[in-house]
């Protein structure tokens, strides 16, 4: 990768699960490099949702390298997820027509509750399925799958963990790590965020800042999607032998089902 920038640049791994991200350093200049990012990144940059894209280059082996401005800032704390900036940026993402048009051009189709349930049934193993909490959760999902249809389909990030929200030293907020975006019910993002970070008594004012009212249908959709995402997280942590985290997610699932 060094020949893309010249010998005066130092390139070091940026960490992360994929090993595809790097930091390029040259005196005061700093870039964030990533191998084989989605073409979606250019639209995210144009919309101001991720740090600015500087250039994209294709290497001889077919890999595509993207360079973004390095962001001097920090991750949001869990407490800060209750803030107005988060609600407003998520609303901007969900209302963005350029993001939706690009995902459609990339061949994405709207994700329906039936697809999610089918994927769940194929993903969880017999040992996980035998847990009483999982059985209760699956029963809830099957019983309510026909009740959570939503005409609104938007671009969902699908991993709105506080670690993926970055705020710059100049107070600009970004949502990064767009590895698994979907066209789906906005309740997927809303449910994960509210259940994870916002006290129940603050849901109504948070959603007001986002731009919608909390009603029974939205609450049911958020609960349904949060349960389905939690089951997937339980299975994922089990597959990785992360049993402590798996048990924490099982406890969370029990709380949601109450």
Cβ atoms < 10 Å from Cβ of 57: 13
- Residue 182: CA count within 13 A, CB half-sphere: 17
Given the residues 27, 63, 125, 159, the one annotated as active site = 159
Question: Rounded CA gap, 104 and 90, in Å?
Answer: 19
C-beta separation of 121 from 70 below 8 A: no
C-beta separation of 198 from 82 below 8 A: yes
Helix (H/G/I), strand (E/B), else coil: 53: strand
- The count of residues in the chain is 258
159 is catalytic: yes
CB neighbour burial string for 232-245, b if at least 16 within 10 angstroms, e if fewer: bbbbebbeeeeeee
User: φ, ψ for residue 64 (rounded to 5)?
Assistant: -110, 125
What is the set of active-site residues?
159
């Amino acid at each position: 990768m060094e020949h893309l920038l010249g010998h005066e640049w130092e390139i070091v791994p940026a960490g992360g699960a994929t090993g595809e991200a790097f930091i390029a350093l040259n005196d005061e200049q700093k870039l964030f490099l990533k191998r084989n990012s989605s073409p979606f990144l250019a639209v995210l940059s144009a919309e101001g949702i991720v740090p600015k894209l500087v250039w994209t280059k294709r290497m001889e082996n077919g890999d595509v390298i993207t360079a973004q401005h390095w962001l001097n800032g920090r991750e949001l704390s869990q407490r800060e997820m209750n803030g107005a900036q988060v609600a407003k940026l998520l609303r901007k993402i969900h209302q963005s027509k350029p993001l939706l048009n690009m995902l459609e051009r990339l061949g994405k189709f709207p994700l329906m509750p039936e697809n999610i349930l089918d994927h769940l049934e194929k993903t969880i193993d017999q040992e996980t399925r035998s847990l009483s909490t999982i059985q209760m959760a699956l029963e809830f999902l099957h019983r309510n799958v026909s009740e959570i249809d939503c005409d609104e389909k938007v671009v969902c990030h699908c991993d709105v963990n506080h670690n993926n929200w970055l705020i710059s030293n100049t107070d600009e907020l970004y949502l990064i790590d767009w590895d698994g975006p979907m066209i789906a019910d906005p309740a997927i993002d809303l449910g994960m965020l509210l259940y994870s970070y916002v006290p129940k008594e603050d849901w109504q004012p948070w959603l007001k800042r986002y731009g919608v009212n909390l009603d029974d249908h939205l609450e049911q959709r958020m609960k349904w999607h949060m349960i389905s995402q939690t089951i997937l997280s339980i299975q994922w942590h089990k597959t990785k032998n992360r049993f402590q985290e798996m048990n924490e997610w099982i406890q969370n699932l029990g709380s949601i089902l109450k």
